């Protein structure tokens, strides 16, 4: 009887030690910025013009097999926005556009992540741009890549005037359209397979 009791206590102690590990948060994954991209496309006089953010980072604590407990926080350096046209690029950090002096970062922080199957997820959260935070739901597809990395990609449309991007005289949407398409491809280390 004493031997059986000792074995039971031993099993209970082992289960207690393993329990926190089973409920631990997923280990953070790491964004690989040099392989990633965030692109934005706006229409100027009806012609699509593509730009991108050159500097951004993310904090990712997300297990694709158990997405509900995960979180993603993306930070974007607004002064890094560029179309590749020097005269236009010089205007983007200024007050009517991204106002990088007062709002050096834009960001997206998830509040809920839902699996849709086949490596597809719905990430709900808040996008903050020029100090304005609005709810946004982003569709994301995660696929395995080389060297144990994963690629998270997707796109969504936002209205620039909601965030006062292109303020003042630039609110005329016949010159620059209100809709801006944002496309992203984020390469991540340590995410794991969906």
* Per-position DSSP letters for 74-120, written without gaps between them: EEEEGGGEE-S-HHHHHHTTSTTTT-TTT--EEEEEEEEEEEEETTE
Q: How many residues does the chain have?
A: 194
Cβ burial of 173 (10 Å; 0-12, 13-18, 19+) is middle
Gap between the Cα atoms of 192 and 189, Å rounded: 8
CATH code of the domain in which 152 resides = 2.40.128.110
In a domain, 15, yes or no: no
In a domain, 130, yes or no: yes
How many domains does the chain fold into?
Answer: 1
In a domain, 128, yes or no: yes
In a domain, 115, yes or no: yes
- Token pair for 51: 């730009």
Gap between the Cα atoms of 52 and 35, Å rounded: 14
Cα separations (Å) of 77 from 100, 144, 158?
8, 27, 18
- Token pair for 26: 């997923």
In a domain, 109, yes or no: yes
**Residue-level pLDDT at 21:** 42
Report the Cα 31 to chain-centroid distance in Å: 10
In a domain, 54, yes or no: yes
Residue with tokens 């609110």: 171
Give the residue among 150, 186, 174 at the shortest CA–CA distance from 46: 174
Domain, as residue range, for 167: 26-189
Residue with tokens 């904090």: 59
Q: Residue 13 carries which DSSP code?
A: H
Continuous segment of H or E residues that includes residue 144: strand 132-144
**Residue-level pLDDT at 62:** 86
Cβ 38 vs Cβ 77: under 8 Å: no
In a domain, 49, yes or no: yes
pLDDT in tens, the chain (194 residues): 445 334 444 443 444 444 444 445 556 799 999 999 999 999 999 999 999 999 999 999 988 889 998 999 999 999 999 999 999 999 999 999 999 999 999 999 999 999 999 999 999 999 999 999 999 999 999 999 988 899 999 999 999 999 999 999 999 999 999 999 999 999 999 987 66
Cβ 57 vs Cβ 69: under 8 Å: no
In a domain, 17, yes or no: no
């Amino acid at each position: 009887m004493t031997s059986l009791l000792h074995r039971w206590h031993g099993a209970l102690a082992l289960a207690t030690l393993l329990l926190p590990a089973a409920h631990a948060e997923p280990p953070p994954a790491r964004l690989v910025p040099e392989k990633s991209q965030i692109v934005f496309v706006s229409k100027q006089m009806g012609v699509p013009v593509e730009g991108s953010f050159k500097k951004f980072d993310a904090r990712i604590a997300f297990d694709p097999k158990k997405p509900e407990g995960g979180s993603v926080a993306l930070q974007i350096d607004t002064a890094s926005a560029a179309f590749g046209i020097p005269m236009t690029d010089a205007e983007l950090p200024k007050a009517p556009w991204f106002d990088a002096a007062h709002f050096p970062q834009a960001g997206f922080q998830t509040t809920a992540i839902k699996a849709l199957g086949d490596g597809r997820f719905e990430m709900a959260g808040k996008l903050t741009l020029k100090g304005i935070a609005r709810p946004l739901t982003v569709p994301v597809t995660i696929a395995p890549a080389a060297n144990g990395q994963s690629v998270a990609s997707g796109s969504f449309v936002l209205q620039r005037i909601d965030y006062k991007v292109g303020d003042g005289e630039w609110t005329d949407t016949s010159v620059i359209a209100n809709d801006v398409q944002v496309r992203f491809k984020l390469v991540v280390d340590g995410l794991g397979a969906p």
